[in-house]
Amino acid sequence: MLKIVLVATIAALVAEASPMPRLQLPQLDGRIVGGVDTTIESYPHQVSVMYFDRHICGGSIIAHNLILTAAHCTRGKDAQFLNIRYGTSLRNQGGTVVAIAEIHDHPNYDPVTTDFDISVLKLSSDIDLSHTAQIIPMISVNAQEGGRTALVTGWGALYTDGPSPKQLQVVELKEEDRKACNKAYEGEITERMICFMNPGQDACQGDSGGPLISNGVQIGVVSWGYDCADPLYPGVFADLANVQIRDHIDGIVEMK
């Protein structure tokens, strides 16, 4: 019976992590399109969030024992089957693996609208900081938006229904006007979301839960979008300047 349960669980994991193009529905499985190879030394805040020891989402180091990712990556999952891999440029290989002690999805996360799409993972032990593992600073509350260029990193599939790379990828995106993005998505963009895109180079969902970085600080978390590399639909990210991330983190730190 246990064997049957494990097989069923792994099958569900594979189905969840695979790209699933759905017309006019948010894609939450994440992929980087049009990116280039990079290394963890260039983006040492990047981590892989793993479920049953297989990569499912990206994340970032925000404290010695805290990882920031997307709530849609962790919702409904048991912490005992989650861990993170850090300090490596390779998917499912190398670096150091640390178990997840606690999952803290944002209390206002809405799986229907994907609003407040952030989750903080508390690790069972501290990360050993080095040139391949560093804490990324976060954007200040109410920071000015508009006209920014940003970078997304991850190990998501290279194109729709395509293979996932072994090597860490990076893509450069430009901020889309909030009103224009909201119009494209027919009013689905909330104040806790920002939009980025670039012709032929699209994070789409980047690698779900992965960091959006501008001027050396994390400004967003890869969240959702329609299609992939579609010029009509920018990638949508959780906006860390407006998502009450610091209050959420402070509440976790203060927990006994």
- The CA distance from 167 to 122, in Å, is 26
Specify the pLDDT at position 140.
85
d(CA 90, CA 19): 20
* Annotation marks residue 208 as catalytic: yes
Q: Which of 117, 202, 207, 239 is catalytic?
A: 117
Beta strand pairing call for 66-69 and 82-86: unpaired
On the question of pLDDT at 7 being above 70, the answer is no
Express each pLDDT in 193-243 by its tens digit: 999 998 766 555 447 999 999 999 999 999 998 876 678 889 999 999 998
| Model pTM score | 0.87
pLDDT in the model for residue 32: 67
Rg (CA), the chain: 17
Q: What is the dihedral of CA 7, 12, 13, 18, to 10 degrees?
A: 130
> Which has the higher per-residue pLDDT, 164 or 213?
213
Nearest alpha-carbon partner for 33 in 203, 166, 226: 203
Closest CA to 68 of 200, 235, 222: 222
pLDDT at 249: 78
Of 48, 89, 164, 208, which one is the catalytic site residue?
A: 208
64: amino acid identity, one letter: H
- 165 pLDDT band, cuts 50/70/90, is confident
Mean pLDDT of 84-94: 97
The answer to whether residue 53 is catalytic is no
Q: 3-state SS of the chain: helix, strand, coil percent to 5?
A: 15, 35, 50
3-state class of 103 per DSSP?
strand
C-alpha triplet 217, 222, 224: angle, nearest 5°:
150
The per-residue pLDDT of the chain, averaged, comes to 84
Token duo for residue 201 = 């180079």
Please give the residue that has the higher pLDDT: either 66 or 140. Answer: 66
DSSP 21-37: --TTS---S-B-BS-EE
Give the N- to C-terminal CA distance of the chain in Å, as an integer: 37
Q: Can you list the domains of the chain with their CATH numbers? A: 32-38+136-242 (2.40.10.10), 44-135+244-254 (2.40.10.10)
- pLDDT reading at 2 higher than 60: no
Is 72 considered catalytic here? yes
Sign of the alpha-carbon torsion through 23, 29, 30, 33: negative
pLDDT at position 255: 59
Q: Which of 45, 55, 72, 104 is catalytic?
A: 72
Instruction: Please report the pLDDT score of residue 162 as a whole number.
Output: 66
Q: Output the pLDDT for position 92.
A: 94
